[in-house]
Amino acid sequence: MRHFAYQRAGDVAEATALHGSDRSADFIAGGTNLIDMVKLDIMRPERLVDVNRLPLTAIESLDDGRLRIGALVTNTDLAYDERIQADYPVLSEALLSGASTQLRNVATTAGNVMQRTRCPYFRNPSRPCNKREPGSGCGALDGINRNHAVLGVSDKCIAVHPSDMCVAMAALGATVTVEGPSGVREIPFEEYHLLPGDTPEREHALSDGELITHVTLDAPITGAKGHYLKLRDRASFEFALASCAAVVTMDGDTVREARIALGGVATKPWRSFEAEAALSGQPASEATFKQAAEAALAGAVAHRDTAFKIPLAKQAIVRALTTVTAQ
Ligand SMILES: Cc1cc2nc3c(=O)[nH]c(=O)nc-3n(C[C@H](O)[C@H](O)[C@H](O)COP(=O)(O)OP(=O)(O)OC[C@H]3O[C@@H](n4cnc5c(N)ncnc54)[C@H](O)[C@@H]3O)c2cc1C
């Protein structure tokens, strides 16, 4: 059994001071991911800084139309917030498609952004994994990789980013506010999660000791409709094999603007600018949606068991667009 120290912070300044830049310390929020990692011996914190008493539980409408979500807002509270359901339905649907009611009741916004991959090689310390142990190799590349990524992969890592919430946020546009030893920083959501490249152990733009304090959604796009479609092995309590967040505005039967992001198939929440370009100004037809799907998956790379994900992701895009444009 590994021992760790436990400290509870009362405000942001205390939390960041307690953490410092100590690489052996971790923040703990709902604990639904972190405690799993500790039990699996993947994360080995010597100190846990509990952030649950920080005053970061509000969802605030800002004067410029954006919506500021406190890091500790639970996935349940966010999904059922009236402003989210009215103006960002794609986010509510994504949240409610994830995990279970019990988990969503304690899982937090920041914890969801920071959740680790479900790759079985990452989660098994006896297997090689460049993300967990740089330079040890990637067991998934030539191993059992049915649940792995086809977009954003490298020859060091093909692990999928598992979040549903983040896929919707990628489509909507957002900013992550972080606070730490060097002050407050704003990070565009698009730049927050990193591609694995040669350094899969670097998963996000957070520096040592920085705490996420808020995620702020861009102002809703006037007249936009949204939908999140999640395809998985069973209908609930399962991660995505392929998912699509679609946010669309129409001029009559023509797509004026579209935002498309994919989950379950990529190493980070995957905004597809290629699909968006293929949709803009085009008639809302099956042919257009198929062209967008082709564009989104044009750069996909399949490994032994992942080839099926390419047509599956295309179907997710076509179905999500068919649903959203029929609303
Ligand atoms: C059985 C199961 C099924 C699941 N299914 C799904 C699913 O279908 N879809 C989905 O999207 N997710 C799913 N999840 C993942 C779930 O959404 C995450 O576990 C949860 O969102 C993590 O939030 P938390 O508050 O519990 O984080 P914690 O476990 O407390 O923390 C997770 C990580 O975030 C860090 N952290 C927490 N707060 C902050 C902060 N403010 N600033 C910086 N770092 C911070 C911690 O240090 C830790 O590294 C599932 C989880 C489980 C256990």
The model carries a pTM of 0.98
Report the percentage of the chain scoring pLDDT > 90. Answer: 98
* Mean pLDDT, residues 7-31: 95
Structure tokens at 136: 């040890």
CA distance 132 to 5: 23
Residue 157 has phi, psi (to 5 degrees) of: -165, 135
Is 103 close to ligand 1, i.e. is its CB under 6 Å away? yes
Is 239 close to ligand 1, i.e. is its CB under 6 Å away? yes
Rounded to the nearest integer, the mean pLDDT of the chain is 97
Is 37 close to ligand 1, i.e. is its CB under 6 Å away? no
> For residue 168, is pLDDT > 90?
yes
* Mean pLDDT, residues 203-228: 97
Short-list 163, 174, 184, 173, CA closest to 216: 174
So what's the pLDDT on residue 175? 98
Cβ contact 247:218 at 8 Å: no
Using DSSP bridges, classify how beta strands 67-70 and 5-8 pair: parallel, antiparallel or unpaired.
unpaired
So what's the pLDDT on residue 238? 96
If you search the block for the tokens 């980070």, which residue do you land on?
268
So what's the pLDDT on residue 21? 84
CA distance 228 to 135: 37
* Mean pLDDT, residues 118-146: 98
CATH of 225-325, one of 1.10.3720.10, 3.90.180.10, 3.40.50.2300, 3.30.390.50: 3.30.390.50
Q: What is the Å distance from ligand 1's center to 170 Cα?
A: 17
The per-residue pLDDT for range 269-296, each reduced to its tens digit, is: 999 999 999 999 999 999 999 999 999 9
Q: What is the Å distance from ligand 1's center to 35 Cα?
A: 10
Band of residue 182 on the pLDDT scale cut at 50, 70, 90: confident
So what's the pLDDT on residue 209? 92
So what's the pLDDT on residue 279? 98
Which residue has a Cα nearest atom 43 of ligand 1? 211
Structure tokens at 99: 């995990």
Rounded to whole angstroms, the maximal C-alpha distance in the chain is: 63
CA distance 131 to 129: 5
The per-residue pLDDT for range 77-93, each reduced to its tens digit, is: 999 999 999 999 999 99
* Mean pLDDT, residues 41-60: 97
So what's the pLDDT on residue 12? 97
Cα-Cα end-to-end distance for the chain? 54
CA 173 to the chain's CA centroid: 12
Structure tokens at 154: 């490298």
* Mean pLDDT, residues 183-198: 98
So what's the pLDDT on residue 8? 98
So what's the pLDDT on residue 181? 87
CA distance 40 to 264: 23
So what's the pLDDT on residue 47? 97
Band of residue 267 on the pLDDT scale cut at 50, 70, 90: very high
**What does each C-alpha distance from 111 to 166, 204, 237 come to in angstroms?**
11, 13, 18
**What does each C-alpha distance from 312 to 127, 271, 316, 322 come to in angstroms?**
29, 17, 6, 15
Band of residue 1 on the pLDDT scale cut at 50, 70, 90: confident
Residue 85 has phi, psi (to 5 degrees) of: -65, -35
Residue 168 has phi, psi (to 5 degrees) of: -65, -40
